[in-house]
Amino acid sequence: MPSRRDMLLFFAASAVAGWTAPRALAAPLTAAAEPGLRGAIDAVDYRAVPESGDRKTRNLQQMIEQAARENVPVFLPPGTYRISNLTLPDNTRISGVPGASRIVYTGEGHLFAAENVRRIELSNLVIDGGNRWLGDYAGGLLQFTGVDEVLIDNCEIGGSRKHGLQLERCGGRIERSRISGAAQSGLYAVESANLSISGNTVSDCGNGGILVHRWKKAEDGTVVSGNRISNIRANDGGTGENGNGVNIFRADGVMVVNNHISDCAFTAIRANSASDIQISSNQCRRSGETAIYVEFAFEGAVVSANLIDGAANGISIANFDEGGRLASVTGNVVRNLTLRGPYKHEVGFGIGIAAEADTLISSNVIEGAPRWGLQIGWGPYLRNVVVSGNVVRKAPVGCAVSVADGAGTAVITDNVFQETAEGAVLGFQWEKKVSGEMAGGGAPYAQLTVERNRVS
């Protein structure tokens, strides 16, 4: 248990912040009443007290360095600490009082940075960038490079002129934290090593929510789970590089599961050149473009049990021309799509589920796709797609399958189509319809097997 001196230091530092101990706590402490802050170094020892201004940054730096050497945590009592340009040594552990220990960036470079260390831990802090200028070398308000284990828990990070949190070549856990108001993305992780991003709230960011990228395509292993992401804009424009809730780029072996993602300018979950990706049990609401996008040079994707309500397109497994292939799309619900998108698209918007190569599309429910419920292939880009056991309602065309020169095999069986005014299963050459109804069987194209579908 902490000594009486430890507790007096705590109360003294808190008093500097304008907090006074209740009379009952100011009395002599009993063993039963002592809180568990044993061994922490208190900010008051170094006069790194709240509202101290930039001149006290050096004191806080010295305190953090001593605590790291002595293998003890730093405790920041309630109050506002105005600092900048802190370099965190190995084994830094800083904690505060949730919602009350506030660190405000004063400008002129960066707030927290660490490089090539083993462990950094921040917990129970409010970290405010104040939308102040960051140095050209700083990618984020908090920037960690080559840290084996970054642990950020129950923190609030806001007001960054760039990324809220940038991690490069890091592992660890980012959890139970709230990141908002970043001009770029809330969290940018590049070249990660088995990073876990879970239980966070990311909102109101200028160009992205959670980004998991690599400089070169390789195994990454990041898990993005249980996060709530909302109101992600695309201030820098483009056709999909910005405006995504979760964006996975060149990172293989990533899991994106059990997230709630809403109101993104482009995509709720976008995987670009990311192999062996699992996108499961997410709720994606009001996406400006395609709600779930798996595109370009990937091999291996599982997209399952997601609920999509409101988007221009539902799910797209695309770019066989760039090597995109091998996917399973099962058990998803896609509804309330629109013909409107953020840019002009050669295929058009309003499509429920689209796929091109070596893909199973099974047991999905699609309702309210104003163009096509299912798009199977595009021009010659079709190979080995199985469409089975799906329900498609309220779409002008239930399933549009490519029969252009060079198109490969597709099997379309045992699906239910209802209220498909133009046709349930139709052949297309690019955007041009070239066949009559084929849902009942006997398709006049050798590469197609179409049978046992029910149309009503």
With 0-12 CB in 10 A as exposed, 13-18 as middle and 19+ as buried, what is 3? exposed
Q: What is the mean pLDDT of residues 412-429?
A: 98
Q: What is the mean pLDDT of residues 57-70?
A: 90
Distance (Å, whole) CA 324 – CA 75: 50
Q: Tokens 């900010």 map to which residue?
A: 43
**Under CATH, to which class is 42-351 assigned?**
mainly beta
- pLDDT tens digits, one per residue of 188-237: 999 999 899 999 999 999 999 999 999 999 999 999 999 999 999 999 99
Evaluate whether 254 touches 279 at the Cβ level (below 8 Å): no
Evaluate whether 103 touches 128 at the Cβ level (below 8 Å): yes
Is residue 164 pLDDT above 60, yes or no? yes
114, 125, 134, 281 from 156: Cα distances, Å: 19, 6, 19, 26
Band of residue 59 on the pLDDT scale cut at 50, 70, 90: confident
Neighbours of 83 (CB within 10 A): 21
Distance (Å, whole) CA 421 – CA 419: 6
pTM above 0.85, yes or no: yes
What pLDDT score does 39 carry?
60
Tokens describing residue 320: 């066989």
At 391, the amino acid letter reads V
DSSP track, 55-112: GGHHHHHHHHHHHHHTT--EEE-SEEEEE--EEPPTTEEEEE-TTTEEEEE-SSB-SE
Closest CA to 337 of 312, 356, 302, 373: 312
Angle at 48 between CA 46 and CA 51, to 5 degrees: 155
Is residue 11 pLDDT above 80, yes or no? no
Evaluate whether 284 touches 260 at the Cβ level (below 8 Å): no
Query: For all residues of the chain together, what is the average pLDDT?
Result: 90
Band of residue 384 on the pLDDT scale cut at 50, 70, 90: very high
Cα maximum dimension of the chain: 91
Distance (Å, whole) CA 219 – CA 255: 12
- pLDDT tens digits, one per residue of 302-358: 999 999 999 999 999 999 999 999 999 999 999 999 999 999 877 789 999 999 999
Neighbours of 99 (CB within 10 A): 12
φ, ψ of residue 68 to 5 degrees: the values are: -65, -40
Evaluate whether 81 touches 94 at the Cβ level (below 8 Å): no
Distance (Å, whole) CA 419 – CA 417: 7
Domain ranges (residues) in the chain = 42-351, 371-455
